[in-house]
Amino acid sequence: MSKTSQWIAGINAVAAAVEHDADHVREVLIEAGAKNPRLTEIEENARRKDIDVRRVATNAIDGVTGGLRHQGVVARYAAAKTYNEDDLPELIEAAAGKALLLVLDGVQDPHNLGACLRSAAAAGVTAVVIPKDKAVQVNATVRKTSAGAADSVPVVRVTNLARAMRDIQQLGVWIYGLAGESTASLYSVDLRGNVALVLGGEADGLRRLTREHCDGLVTIPMPGLANAPGVESLNVSVATGVALFEAVRQRG
């Protein structure tokens, strides 16, 4: 676990960081001359919390975001924690038998990862596990899409996803992978104890080794597909929300 510093961009992401985690916001840069009332609101809120705020030229903001659409505001953010596989035992133990993990196998689109993190935070997920390679990492786009959730839920980056899943199982966690061809419904499995839900990437779904390390494969029933030619499955972020909130429902 370590501390990092990076820029986050966009009105929602910066507003959420200032409102909910001001201790880790080092400074806010706002486009000079911008008239958006939400930018004024962010500036006033940041000053109330003794955060340094500067009005700067647009090209200065462009420079720190690398061309990412920023809506006229960025913040230098010192994220409290980054996690790796060595932190999983402590996170799972702290959940006291009710750990809920989200494992993402090769999600490539930062908007999808951001949306998954947003659902994970809302569902009270214990940790989100992502591979270090061949998958998008938590970057400025992810932070913006997650509207602050990227810094409120532990994101655990692992070197070898299959090995991490095996370690998770040894810690008493049941692992269920979502696969469209499965005949077992998501709604038929018990999600109330220590559970990990695994979802695959946008193109290929779950990889072979990932499937082999699941205790079971389940599917989200989609009766409308028969009447929707060309629609094969749910977007990974939508499927993540459905699966996580079924676990929330069961835990009641």
Residue ranges of the annotated binding site for S-adenosyl-L-methionine are 200, 220, 234
The answer to whether 120 touches 244, Cβ cutoff 8 Å, is yes
| Residue partners of 184: CB distance under 8 A and separation at least 6 | 216, 217, 218, 219
Structure tokens at 163: 């090995």
Report the C-alpha gap between 121 and 88 in whole angstroms.
17
CA-angle at 234, arms to 232 and 235, nearest 5°: 115
Q: Which two tokens stand for residue 143?
A: 């932070």
Helices (H) and strands (E) in the chain, counts: 9, 10
| Distance separating alpha carbons of residues 15 and 31, to the nearest angstrom | 15
Total count of residues recorded for the chain = 252
Annotated binding site: 200, 220, 234
CA angle 61, 155, 25 (to 5 degrees): 35
DSSP 218: E
